[in-house]
Amino acid sequence: MSDFIKHPVVSLPDRAPEPVFSKKELVFTEAEKEQIETFRAQYPTPESAVMKTLWLAQEKFGFLPPEVIRLAADTLGIPFSLAYGVATFYTQYYKAQQGKYVLDVCTCFSCQLCGGYDMVRYLEEKLDIREGETTEDGLFTIQGVECLGACGTAPMLQVTNGPYVHNLSREKLDALIDALKAGKKPPFVSVTLPQDEDDLGGNRRSDAEATEVGQTPPAAETFE
């Protein structure tokens, strides 16, 4: 095969891997079951609650191996195949164990033009792993992701489907990694509109301590 074909079309998953979680671990608590009941009540059919239930399962177990998907499906009383189809379609459901902190660096074109790939390369060098890999201590995974909807504060990243970190620079990444190593997740940051800078003292929300406004982006060095 020529090196022209860079993207293999299909890689088939192992359909019956060894379970990661034991039968004893595979239970929802009463509170979680109650939560799932409220999800069910929000929709006319139990199938519709599958996305929220998978989110809950992922928060509990960290990722979604087949046995966890089966647990979610059984709890809702829907076929395993439906839940498995959904879990494998959406990218934010992790099918494999990830690092404690997944650094989703946006590399879509607004960020690409403003240094998104520079940030990925810097993280790779700093953590000594490649994009898509996890550090040996299990702390960090780096992923280049598609547009996260924060183009005005590019380059930016998201920490494990949670808080956004805006206006990245190498210094800011150093600080972020140190903070995460110390167990401190970044806070919710409010992005102030440039039109507000004069009026509201630069912040519209008194419940958000940290604020950012789009800064003049750096010149990108790498583009892929």
Partner 1 sequence: MEMALFGDNGSGKTDAWRSYERVLLPPVRDLHRFDTYVGHGGYEALRAVLTREEWTPGKVIEATKASGLRGRGGAGFPTGLKWSFMPPVEPGKPRYIACNGDESEPGTFKDRQLMEYNPHLVFEGILIAAWAMQIDATYLYVRGEYADWIRHMESELAMLYDKGYAGKRILGTDFSSDIVIHKGAGAYICGEETSLLESVEGKRAYPRIKPPFPAQKGLWGCPTTVNNVETLACAPLIINRGAEWFAGVGAEKHPGPVLYGISGHVERPGVYEYPTGMLITDLIEKVAGGVRGGKKLKAIVPGGASVPVLRADMIEGVTMDAESLREAGSMMGTAGMLVMDEDTDMVKFLRRVTRFYHHESCGQCTPCREGTGWIENLVTRIDEGQGTLRDLDILLELCDQMEGRTVCALADAAAWPVRNTIQRFREEFEAKCRQSIYAVA
Structure tokens at 27: 């239970």
Q: Which of 27, 33, 37, 45 binds partner 1 (CB under 8 A)?
A: 45
Q: Which of 47, 74, 131, 133 binds partner 1 (CB under 8 A)?
A: 47
| x-or-dash string of contact with partner 1, 70-89, rule CB under 8 A | ------------x--xx--x
Q: Does 221 bind partner 1 (CB under 8 A)?
A: no
Residue 161 zone, left/alpha/beta (φ > 0; ψ -120 to 50; rest): left
Q: Which of residues 135-164 bind partner 1 (CB under 8 A)?
A: 146-154, 158, 161-164
Helix (H) or strand (E) holding 104: strand 101-106
* Sole residue written with tokens 């990108």: 220
| x-or-dash string of contact with partner 1, 194-213, rule CB under 8 A | xxx--xx--xxxxx-----x
Q: Does 11 bind partner 1 (CB under 8 A)?
A: no
Residue 188 zone, left/alpha/beta (φ > 0; ψ -120 to 50; rest): beta
Residue 221 zone, left/alpha/beta (φ > 0; ψ -120 to 50; rest): alpha
Q: Does 12 bind partner 1 (CB under 8 A)?
A: no
Helix (H) or strand (E) holding 69: helix 66-76
Quickly count helices (H) and strands (E) in the chain: 7, 6
CB of 18 to partner 1, least distance (A): 26
CB of 130 to partner 1, least distance (A): 17
Q: Does 132 bind partner 1 (CB under 8 A)?
A: no
CB of 30 to partner 1, least distance (A): 22
